[in-house]
Amino acid sequence: MKGRPALFLDRDGVLTVENSYITRPDELRLETGAAEAVRTLNEAGVLAVVVSNQSGVARGLMTEQDMAAVHARLEQLLGEDGARLDAAYYCPNHLEGAVERYSRDASCRKPQTGMIDAAVRDLGIDLSASAMVGDQLTDAELAERAGIPCVLVETGKGTTSFEQARAAGLPVAELVPGVLDAARWMVSRLKSR
C-alpha cells in the first residue's frame, strides 16, 4: 500500500483572505469556497494538509502561541461547515527575523521541502498521487522540488505568481479561480488515474 493522496494547501491567499500578517484569530477570514474545498477533499479521501510560511513569528509580530490561536480559528471556521484539515505544518523561521531563535534559514521554509517531507513521514502520504495548491512563486518552486504538480489560484497573489512561474520556467498544472476549483481539479485528477 503506497499511502493516501494529499492536497498540500498554502494558507494565506488560498484558504484565507490575504491580509499581510494575520496575527490574531479575529483577523482571519476564509476565502470563498474554502470550507467546501476542504470538505470535497475529505469526502474524496484526499488528505487536506496546510503547509504555510509564517515569518511573522521570526519578525516578532506574533508568538507561536498566537500562531496556534489563529490556526485554531481556521479549524473552527472550517468545522462550522463540516470540513476538517488532516494536518497543518507552519514554518516560523526567516533569515531576516528580529527574534534570534527564529532568525535562520530552515528546511521547513518554502520553497524547501521540509514541511512536505514531514507530512509524508507523519501521514503516510503517496507523494506520486499528491499535488500543491498555492498563490505564490514559492508554492510553485516547492511543488517542483517535491516532484508534484502545482495548481495556482487567482486569489491572493496567484495571478502575478502565475506570470512569474511562467517567466522562470516553472511548471504550473493549472491556474484556477479559487481553492474550490483546485480541490475539484485534484479529485478529477485522481479519478482519471
Q: Is the dihedral of CA 73, 81, 39, 136 positive or negative?
A: negative
Catalytic residue among 10, 86, 135, 181: 10
For 20, counting Cβ atoms within 10 Å of its Cβ (0-12 exposed, 13-18 middle, 19+ buried), the class is exposed
Grid coordinates belonging to 48: 487536506
126 is a catalytic site residue: no
Taking the C-alpha atoms of residue 41 and residue 33, their distance in angstroms, rounded to an integer, is 12
Taking the C-alpha atoms of residue 190 and residue 193, their distance in angstroms, rounded to an integer, is 5
Taking the C-alpha atoms of residue 28 and residue 21, their distance in angstroms, rounded to an integer, is 10
- Which of the 8 DSSP states describes residue 4? B
117 is a catalytic site residue: no
Grid coordinates belonging to 79: 468545522
- Positions marked catalytic: 10, 12
